[in-house]
Amino acid sequence: MAISRNGGVLRRLPLLLALVAAVLSASPAGACAADCQHLGGATISDNQHFRRWDFLRHRSDRLSIFGGPSASPPSLPPPPPSISISHSRIFHVTDYGADPTGATDSSPAISRAISDAFNYSSGLQLMPGIPNLGGAEIHLDGGVYLLNSPITFPSTGGNIKIHGGSLRASDDFPANRYIIELQSYSPSSGISPSAYHYEFVTLSGLMLDANFRGGGIAVVNSLRTLIDGCYIVHFTSDGIYVHGGHETFIRSSFLGQYITAGGDHREKTFSGTGIRLMGNDNSVTDVVIFSAETGILIAGAANTITGVHCYNKATAWGGVGIHVKVAGRSQTRILNSYMDFTGILAEDPVQLVIAGCYFLGNARVTLRSVNGVMRGVNIVDNIFSGSGYGVDIVGLDESSKRFVVVDGVVVERNSVEGMRLRSTAATASVEGKGTTWTVDFSSVLLFENRIDQMQYTLAPAESTFTNHALRNVSDNRVVIVSSAAVRATVHVSVSQSMNFLKA
């Protein structure tokens, strides 16, 4: 039975059955079977555009408007609204002549389906100037479609979805474009510089194969875009490119230039970028990037990366897992992610948090100086696992300029095996008899010759009182001296993360 094919409708089954019952009892035929051609007096034509399935879903969606999520039991179903199949807003590209076998170019057919979906007036808007397309769907019907040109959208619109199939660039696909371009071109001025053209567009359940011609998806000046459950391969530029706009949510997706499960003999030649974020407030959640020179490049503010697994290209081959490349405040949060033989590179990081991540295979965090500034950086509670080569878990790249402003940088509480611990805080104790106690923190502290704060306690083993003082903290070596020789233990804690911003 058709309804069993869709979980969304199954969840609404009680309501749907109530509807069918209500409709059947209203039917003049009375005992009409569920697949009969008359429901509630409306005649279903055998128009090829019609799908009974869509009809049922359409009806149940409309009913839920009356019911709502917390409605009382469906004892009083409202009178069924009048039914007209032409009201379906699901556009099947095969109905427009697209070829689901991937043998011939389907770009024009898919383009016609999209034009039809956009040719609609609900009288409602999302952001001013962005018509609400009501939740229309461009349905790919599980086919593989060959494209000679990118899929573009008329300007402007929102509340629309494209889903459920595969798109593959042909050998004639233009170089350096993207399979799907959520981007408005104007004939005179090219890309519109700033206005929002699209809002709440969903791209889901898609496999995109860029056939080494260009990229997967471009999202330009769009608001609240959802890319969900996509598999994007064979890109030469970017798997996903986001420019301007805000709140592109990329989630539960897989991206790779080559299809590989790791340890690929081509790895040293991997190029391109899995996800390029040139905008603010985006979120990447539960995404795997399995081949690309750079996994995620972040060049905007306030982006969140969570649950990402990067094994795109090993550091040893010149790859970067996540590259934070922002001028000024980055406000980037990289959480709960898995950096697998490839690390995180942050340039002049200002307001960056890296927490709860797992670094495998000597992968590490590199803080690179461009203008010599790093402020408000927290690298805490991560796991680092290496193979005993002595790689620092966090390293400074000052090859072009030294860091001159270092303020509020916290590298602490990381769990380290087979790599060299680096930290901005440390504690140690020394025991002995004498007048001088020296604790050398230089092998663990991240920054050379810098102790912002320290505390110590001198605990004599004998019941004597002795004068003692801090003498020196140069080169991260703490020297305590006493006025007389005593047997004592000296406990010292030091920190390099004083935050001058608070002043």
Ligand X SMILES: *[C@@H]1O[C@H](CO)[C@@H](O)[C@H](O)[C@H]1NC(C)=O
Contact set with ligand X (CB under 6 A)? 115, 119, 471-472, 474-475, 477
List CB contacts of 79: < 8 A, sequence separation 6 or more.
none
| Nearest-approach distance from CB 472 to ligand X, in angstroms | 4
Q: What distance in Å separates the CA atoms of residue 338 and residue 358, rounded to the nearest whole number?
A: 5
Contact 153, 180 (CB under 8 A): no
List CB contacts of 250: < 8 A, sequence separation 6 or more.
227, 228, 240, 275, 282, 283, 284, 285, 287
Nearer to ligand X, 37 or 449 (CB): 449
| Nearest-approach distance from CB 111 to ligand X, in angstroms | 11
| Nearest-approach distance from CB 481 to ligand X, in angstroms | 10
Nearer to ligand X, 114 or 419 (CB): 114
Nearer to ligand X, 112 or 163 (CB): 112
CA distances, 58 to each of 19, 55, 119, 323 (Å): 12, 5, 19, 44
Angle at 372 between CA 367 and CA 377, to 5 degrees: 45
State the SS3 of 400-416.
Answer: CCCCCEEEEEEEECCEE
How would you class 467 by CB atoms within 10 Å of its CB: exposed for 0-12, middle for 13-18, buried for 19 or more?
A: exposed
Please choose, from the candidates 364, 332, 333, 368, the residue with its C-alpha nearest in 3D space to the C-alpha of residue 348. Answer: 368
| Nearest-approach distance from CB 475 to ligand X, in angstroms | 5
Nearer to ligand X, 220 or 473 (CB): 473
| Nearest-approach distance from CB 448 to ligand X, in angstroms | 12
At 404, which amino acid appears? V
Nearer to ligand X, 92 or 313 (CB): 92
| Nearest-approach distance from CB 93 to ligand X, in angstroms | 16
Nearer to ligand X, 115 or 122 (CB): 115
Nearer to ligand X, 60 or 111 (CB): 111
| Nearest-approach distance from CB 485 to ligand X, in angstroms | 20
N-to-C CA span, the chain? 69
